[in-house]
Amino acid sequence: MDLKLKIWKQKNPKDKGRFETYNIANISPDCSFLEMIDILNEQLINEGKEPVAFDHDCREGICGMCSLYINGRPHGPDDDITTCQLHMRKFKHGDTITIEPWRAAAFPVVKDLIIERNAFDKILQAGGFVSVNTGGVQDANAILIPHDTAEEAMDAASCIGCGACVAACKNSSAMLFVAAKVSQLAVLPQGKIEAAARVKNMISKMDELGFGGCTNTGACEAECPKSISISHIARMNREFLCANIQD
């Protein structure tokens, strides 16, 4: 299929940036979206032009590195997948595809479609962990955890930190990401010990970094490639309230 691509080009964080239009021909429907950009880049390099910079790593939906706001949706027109899992069969011959970087004050553009997601790392450093004491390795089943609880924690832990929730939210709120990280530890006995301090530290870091607040629109849940539920946000609000009432 032949396509017209409108891609955001920006030299560096200070550059104003603009859309650049590219034409690309003979794309197979079996091609992945990122492969399509690879083909475009090869074409651009052969023409002596500058290729389009974009983020990617695993290309199998587990690392959270790929991003791209495609035709108005983070990770493109399919549900529950990352951009690297998106196939060109979701598009038609002759389509115009607009590709933008995630837009948020807390995620500045580095170059073209690459954005700085350090803010997520900073939130995790503020409390998204369980302190490990030295000593012998514990037996895996020393602490019994009900199946439902383990599942709930596992669902939350499937967040890959891609930032699509922030990109989709009209307020650029990071609440779904933070809620997933808070939840995954708060429901487990190992994580409960530091739960109150964790939620307070992570929220205060989140606010400091310039993410917006949640207005419960549910856009994050709809666009999250891992279908993280907004019920985790309710849990985080609850944890945060209780933690503050206690002191």
Residues lying near ligand HEM in the complex (CB under 6 A): 215-216
Q: Which does residue 216 bind out of ligand HEM, ligand SF4, ligand FES, none, counting CB within 5 to 8 angstroms by kind?
A: ligand HEM
The three-state DSSP-derived secondary structure of 207-247 is: HHCCCECCCCCCHHHHHCCCCCCCHHHHHHHHHHHHHHHHC
**Residue 199 in 3-state DSSP?**
helix
- Cβ 246 to ligand HEM, closest distance in Å? 22
Contact between 153 and ligand SF4 by CB under 6 A: the answer reads: no
Any idea what the Cα angle at residue 152 is, between residues 118 and 124, rounded to 5°? Answer: 15
- Residue nearer to ligand HEM on the CB measure, 162 or 178: 178
The contacts of residue 87 (CB under 8 Å, 6+ apart) are: 29, 30, 31, 32, 33
Q: Is 99 in the site for ligand FES (CB under 6 A)?
A: no
Q: Which of 128, 179, 130, 187 is nearest to 153 (CA)?
A: 187
Provide, rounded to whole angstroms, the least separation between the CB of residue 116 and another protein: 14
Indicate whether 222 belongs to the interface with another protein (CB under 8 A).
yes
Segment 33 to 62, residues that bind ligand FES, using CB under 6 A: 56-59, 61-62
219 binds another protein (CB under 8 A): yes
Strand partners, 23: 4
For ligand SF4, the binding residue among 176, 182, 202, 233 (CB under 6 A) is 176
Question: CA-to-CA distance for 239 and 187, rounded, in angstroms?
Answer: 10
Partner whose footprint covers residue 59, from ligand FES, ligand SF4, ligand HEM, none (CB < 5 to 8 Å by kind): ligand FES
| 241 binding another protein? (CB under 8 A) | yes
- The answer to whether 240 and 185 have CB atoms below 8 angstroms apart is no
- List the single partner that 176 binds among ligand SF4, another protein, ligand HEM, none, CB under 5 to 8 Å by kind: ligand SF4
Q: Which stretch binds another protein (CB under 8 A): 27-35, 71-79, 82-90, 190-198?
A: 71-79
119 binds ligand SF4 (CB under 6 A): no
Q: Which stretch binds ligand SF4 (CB under 6 A): 1-9, 144-152, 182-190, 221-229?
A: 221-229
User: What pairing do the DSSP bridges indicate for beta strands 96-100 and 3-9?
Assistant: parallel
Taking the CB of residue 6, how many other CB atoms lie within 10 A of it?
Answer: 14
Site for another protein in 167-186 (CB under 8 A): 168, 170-173
Other CB atoms within 10 A of residue 149 CB: 12
Residues sharing a CB contact under 8 Å with residue 214, sequence separation 6 or more, in sequence order: 169, 171, 173, 175, 233
Q: Where on the chain is the footprint of ligand SF4 (CB under 6 A)? A: 159-165, 176-177, 180, 224-226, 228
